[in-house]
Every structure is written in C-alpha cells, then in structure tokens.
C-alpha cells in the first residue's frame, strides 16, 4: 500500500465514528473534478456496477505509475469521500502497490462500523474495479 493511503487508512481506523464521518465528508469535498476530456466517457464501460451511486472510474498507467480520475455524485458523500481517498492515496503509486491492496482496506479504515452493508459492498466494488482497471491498463502498456 502506498505510504499516503496507509496514512489515511490509519487515521480513519483510529478516529472515533463521528470523526470518521467528518473525514469522509472532507475528502468528498476534495475529490478532484473529472477532466473535461473524460466527461464525455461517463458511460456504462466506466461505471462501477457494484455501487448504487453512479461512480465512474478512469485509470491510466504511465511508467508503472497509476493515475486515477473519477466522478461520484455530491449527493453520495461517503462514496465520494472513499473515491477521493483512493485518488489522494494512490495517485502516482506503482501498479504493484495498487494491485497489492488487500480486501480488508475498508475494515482497517473502520468504514463498516459507520456505513451500511450495501454501501460497504459498493465501496468494495469500487476497490475491486480499480484493481481490474489497473491490471487492464498495465497490460495494454506492456504490449
């Protein structure tokens, strides 16, 4: 796991429930806007199907470094916050760092304690989709 993402996950995991929610909301507010050239590609092929909220994920790999762009609705601040955490914590990480993310990331961040089961399932879907997209992007670079 990247040092940045590890620091965020540790901070969340050590915070009390109310602080965890506030941290997620702060991250939701800091989700970088989707670049204009990607906005036209907000379609089914970039949507995270497992998530009830419309989350769109775009991944590039350059020189073994991962670059992530995403869009999530303002009306879903916990989802938007988690997506923002992934972007802030993994921007420029190596392909290997992203692919080594463990499925218990949400548990270590204490998110199941503050979110419902459906929301946690959706966030798990975001994480899985990110890893699949990184795998695809890295494979296309290797060709």
Q: What pLDDT is attached to residue 1?
A: 74
Q: Give CA angle at 60 (45, 50), nearest 5°.
A: 35
| Number of domains making up the chain | 1
- CB half-sphere exposure, 11, CA atoms < 13 A: 15
* CB 130 within 8 Å of CB 86: yes
The pLDDT score that the predictor gives to residue 27 is 97
Question: Angle at which helices 77-90 and 3-14 pack, to 10 degrees?
Answer: 140
User: pLDDT of 57-70, one tens digit each?
Assistant: 999 999 999 999 99
Write out residues in the chain with pLDDT < 70, as ranges.
Answer: 142-143
Q: Looking at the DSSP assignment, which residues form a beta bridge with residue 94?
A: 65
Write down the number of H helices and E strands in the chain. Answer: 7, 2
Chain segment 25-42, per-residue pLDDT in tens: 999 999 999 999 999 999
- What pLDDT shows up at residue 143? 60
DSSP label at residue 47: B
* Angstrom distance (rounded) from CA 139 to CA 135: 6
The pLDDT, as a whole number, for residue 32 is 94
CATH of the domain at 10: 3.90.1010.10
Tell me which residue range forms the domain holding 83: 3-142
Q: What does pTM read for this prediction?
A: 0.93
**pLDDT score of 103:** 83
User: What is residue 59's predicted lDDT score, i.e. its pLDDT?
Assistant: 96
CA 51/CA 131 separation, integer angstroms: 15
């Amino acid at each position: 796991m990247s040092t940045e993402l590890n620091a965020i996950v540790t901070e969340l995991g050590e915070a009390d429930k109310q602080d965890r929610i506030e941290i997620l909301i702060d991250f939701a507010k800091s989700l970088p806007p989707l670049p204009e050239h990607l906005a036209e590609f907000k379609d089914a092929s970039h949507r995270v199907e497992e998530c009830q909220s419309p989350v769109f994920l775009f991944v590039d790999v350059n020189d073994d470094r991962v670059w992530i762009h995403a869009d999530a609705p303002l009306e879903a601040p916990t989802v938007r916050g988690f997506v923002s955490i992934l972007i802030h914590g993994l921007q420029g990480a190596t392909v290997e760092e992203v692919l080594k993310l463990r499925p218990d990331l949400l548990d270590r961040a204490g998110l199941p304690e503050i979110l419902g089961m459906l929301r946690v399932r959706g966030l798990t879907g975001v994480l899985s989709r990110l890893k699949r997209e990184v795998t695809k992007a890295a494979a296309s670079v290797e060709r």
